[in-house]
Chain A
């Protein structure tokens, strides 16, 4: 049962299995274990980023192609759902139509980029995605009468998911059973389903071909697999999953804007999560996203304390200033690409 649910790709390490169980349990019970708006926001963000990072890992870790446009697809999903709900009212049909439109748009764009660049050389893909993603972000901020520009759009979600909707009069275990809780579990369940789907895909024959292409594309081609076709389909699947993650993000935040979905900073975050968690292992997405977002929320406070403690010393306070946490992540990133290319999950599995 568990084996088929995880597509027979078991953690293969006790420590990893324990960490995964702990993370999933914490996320599943987050509203009850960690009351408070900030904690549940963090939990929802982790769920969404697990999907986003898993879909990115399908590209970078399993197929071996680097895209810098993953946030663009994330943004297409968020804007599709968000602008739909904003313009046509907060109903379920609008939500699904918005998601559908976003999926079609995302897949079409991914197909276009893929056909243009993957046909020639895989390295074109990294540069072209970078350029297209920048252009898309500028377009999204420029057409402000439609997208809300830099400010983005706040909108209402369907009634079932609103905080004002109460399902039970009395709180259970000190938690109000309201629409916000329903929204959290919608995000959690969708994220879990999408993650298991990604696991299914990478462990299918199709996923094996992707890994063969990653290891040696010439050889895969020689064995009779059309590399361009497989690479393109992989980008389409990854794009569709990123669109879905974006839609979840819009539903949870009840807001969509360039800074939360499209910005290059998020692209860097995703890269860091994939590399730190472990490229080419879907579980790396879970570990990487959870650790990274926790660190983002709590490490910065710690750095603030350190900066205060070092106030008298020259240069050092600047180095540990909370705004400089990306510096340390960058260093960590470079070191982990060198020394732990398989990330945390690879390390744990290697130890046995």
Chain B
């Protein structure tokens, strides 16, 4: 941040410290954090069997991380520029297809029974998917969204149109038939502890999600870029008035968000082990629920919402499979009754 004041006018360091101390502290709100814990505990007696419960919970956490990967970019983009991208789901499918294309020539690495080779094949595929969807996100922002800033109705329509075109282009390029997305050899199967089975890929997904969340939190809270992004979410005009190019910042966030959606798509396709052009659709419904539950624009709320939604989806899928998605709608209704702006409402919006 540029300091316009001359050295003589700036207060001495001691005085500054005093000012910082007198600032009102932001209240930390831990109440929503208890929700997933409470839900998990409440589900234990209903599921009945501890080992099933652990399996379900880990599966839910893995699913939650994938939802989070997709949702975090979307919620940040909304928070920063007030753009709701209904075409976000296209990046899920495109990321997965790019990974499929990359994994094709690497099939030797994928089939080798070596964790190192497997992970590097997956890493390469995920990297290619993220770069591909990131670039595509950049083009999407340029071509589709830029002309309709500030007009919600047109944004929704245009991004929906973009989603249709992108989905159809997948059909043109990769064909419309369902593709198999095989897991690498070393990631198949499960670790078994007594009668608890933990699937390896789910653990990997949880790890990836946690790493992304940690990095994102560090960047947002401990770096200058993050400071600007958070400031932009609060008040974009003010940040612009201070001389920062909020537009460039926004394009950057959009690219990163698209790339994360691509990564989420790769994980999601591997999780389901099949791939169709409509793969983004199922996930996007959950993503929208998560964003609403978490509070539009809030990354922390988005993480919490992802875990909550995935836990509920997995428990109900086990207990009463027919109403799995409907239970999440009820969750959304309940949370909106409690906090109409979502768990962690972002100021101004």
Contacts and interface: CB of A to CB of B under 8 A. Distances in A.
A131 B305 CA distance: 15
B188 interface: no
A139 B176 CA distance: 26
A331 B165 contact: yes
Contacts of B161: 330-331, 333-334, 337
A217 B260 CA distance: 35
B325 A326 contact: no
Contacts of A127: 84, 288-289, 291-292
Contacts of A119: 340
A163 interface: no
A329 B341 CA distance: 36
B281 interface: yes
Contact of B326 (A122, A135, A264): A135
Given A127-B288, A327-B169, A330-B164, A337 B325 contact: no
Contacts of A319: 172
B329 A324 contact: no
B187 interface: no
Interface string A55-93: 000001000111000000000000000000000000000
A168 interface: no
Contact of A271 (B147, B157, B292, B349): B157
Given A119-B340, A126-B84, A324-B171, A135 B158 contact: no
B322 A142 contact: yes
B326 A139 contact: yes
B328 interface: yes
Contact of A120 (B160, B291, B321, B336): B336
A307 B152 CA distance: 38
A122 to B, nearest CB: 7
A120 B144 CA distance: 27
B136 to A, nearest CB: 15
A323 B172 CA distance: 10
A266 to B, nearest CB: 13
B238 interface: no
B180 interface: no
Nearest to A332: B161
Interface residues of B, number: 44
A116 interface: yes
A334 B152 contact: no
A185 interface: no
Given A120-B340, A331-B165, A139 B322 contact: yes
Nearest to A333: B161
A162 B160 CA distance: 40
Contacts of B35: none
A60 to B, nearest CB: 7
Interface string A316-352: 0011000110110111011001100100000000000
A331 B164 CA distance: 8
Contacts of A138: 324-326
B153 interface: yes
A131 B329 contact: yes
A81 to B, nearest CB: 23
Given A127-B288, A132-B329, A330 B168 contact: yes
Contacts of B323: 139, 142
A131 B281 contact: no
Given A326-B168, A329-B164, A330-B168, A126 B156 contact: yes
Contact of A116 (B156, B288, B333, B349): B333
Contacts of A323: 171, 176
B154 interface: yes
Most chain B CB inside 10 Å of its own CB: which residue of A127, A139, A319: A127
Nearest to A267: B160
Contact of A264 (B171, B281, B292, B332): B281
A66 B164 contact: no
A128 B332 contact: yes
A103 to B, nearest CB: 22
B162 interface: yes
B168 A334 contact: no
B285 interface: yes
A315 interface: yes
B285 A143 contact: no
B171 A275 contact: no
A66 B332 contact: no
Contact of B165 (A126, A132, A330): A330
B85 to A, nearest CB: 11
Interface in B6-43: none
Interface in B279-321: 281, 284-285, 288-289, 291-292, 296, 321
Contacts of B153: 60, 64-66
A122 B336 contact: no
A172 B332 CA distance: 58
Contacts of A126: 84, 86, 156
A303 to B, nearest CB: 13
A132 B328 CA distance: 10
**10 closest A-B pairs by CB:** A330-B164, A327-B168, A334-B161, A330-B165, A142-B322, A333-B161, A127-B288, A135-B325, A134-B285, A135-B326
5 contacts: A112-B333, A131-B332, A271-B160, A275-B157, A327-B172
Interface of A: 60, 64-66, 112, 116-117, 119-124, 126-128, 130-132, 134-135, 138-139, 142-143, 264, 268, 271, 275, 315, 318-319, 323-324, 326-327, 329-331, 333-334, 337-338, 341
Given A66-B152, A324-B171, A327-B165, 5 more contacts: A64-B153, A119-B340, A128-B292, A135-B325, A326-B164
Interface of B: 84, 86, 144, 147-148, 152-154, 156-158, 160-162, 164-165, 168-169, 171-172, 176, 281, 284-285, 288-289, 291-292, 296, 321-326, 328-329, 332-333, 336-337, 340-341, 349
